[in-house]
Structures are given as C-alpha cells and as structure tokens.
Amino acid sequence: MAIYVDADACPVKAEVERVATRHALRVLIVSNGGIRPSQNPLVQTVIVPEGPDEADKWIADRVGPGDIVITGDIPLAARCVEARAQVLKHDGTALTPENIGNILATRDLLADLRAADPFRQGGGRSFAKADRSRFLDALERAVRRSSG
C-alpha cells in the first residue's frame, strides 16, 4: 500500500506526510518539478518529464488496489478508481465507483460551457481550514480501510 500525491497545486502535502508517518506508509509525491523534497524517509519525490498530464500518467500506470491517491484531477481520479484505488480530493471528498461517472460528466459539461462562453467567470471556491480538517479525517479513514 502506498499513497500517491498528484503534487502540482496540492494544498495538503504536509497533511499526507503527517498521516503517512503515523502509519509508517510510503508516500510518492509526483510532479513536473518545483517541489521541495521531504527529508522524511517514507516520502519519495518523483519528478516526471515536462508535458501535459505526465504526472497523471505516471500515477495511473502504477496505482492499484489498496493504494490511496490524492488528486483534484478528475480524469486521473477516474483512472485510479478503475484500478480499484481509493481516491480523495484535497477537501476530503471521496471519488468512488458510485460517484465518479457523474463527477466526470459534470466536469466535462462545465468545460464545454466555459469553451462556449469565453467571458464566463468561474472557478472553485478557495481552500478553507474546514477543507483541511475534512481531508485529514477522510485520509485517516482511507488508510484504515486499506490496512484492514
């Protein structure tokens, strides 16, 4: 079992490291670079080649049952759910076989709407302290499910 972190723009890397250390789990922080390596021996920094979705491809090619993936990228999440990994968004939302289809469809619809109206303003809400707390709780539960 390992925890994979899609590290570009991930606001919860420190929280992942803290939970992983408590449970002695391996963490792979995957990015195109610009991430400061952790001194924690359980945490491996993986730098992938430049290019769109290279970190996503790297994670999706390696993840499997029992692993946990932290990402805000919905297409990556769908691939990881298909590989039977547990997937969490940064706010603690679990992406599962039951909900990933609707979430992917909604993402695609919103992308189409933005493309049709270039003046459309949007974007998610900002990351809050409550999101961090929900994430920690969700990650702890995911680790227990994978371990048990």
Query: Which one has a higher pLDDT value, 68 or 106?
Result: 68
Percent of the chain at pLDDT > 70 equals: 90
Q: Is it true that domain 2-97+131-147 has CATH number 3.30.420?
A: no
Q: pLDDT at residue 121 above 70?
A: no
pLDDT given at position 52 = 83
H or E element in which residue 15 lies: helix 13-23
Q: What is the mean pLDDT of residues 10-38?
A: 94
Query: Which one has a higher pLDDT value, 124 or 135?
Result: 135
Buried b (16+ CB within 10 A) or exposed e, 103-132: bbeeeeeeeeeeeeeeeeeeeeeeeeeebb
Q: pLDDT at residue 124 above 70?
A: no
Domain boundaries along the sequence of the chain: 2-97+131-147
pLDDT in tens, 53-79: 899 999 999 999 999 999 999 999 999
pLDDT given at position 79 = 95
Q: pLDDT at residue 92 above 70?
A: yes
What sign results for the dihedral spanned by CA atoms 131, 136, 139, 144?
A: negative
pLDDT given at position 39 = 95
Q: Identify the three-state secondary structure at position 97.
A: coil
pLDDT given at position 26 = 97
pLDDT given at position 114 = 67
Does the pTM exceed 0.75? yes
Cα–Cα distance, 65 to 106 (Å, whole number): 26
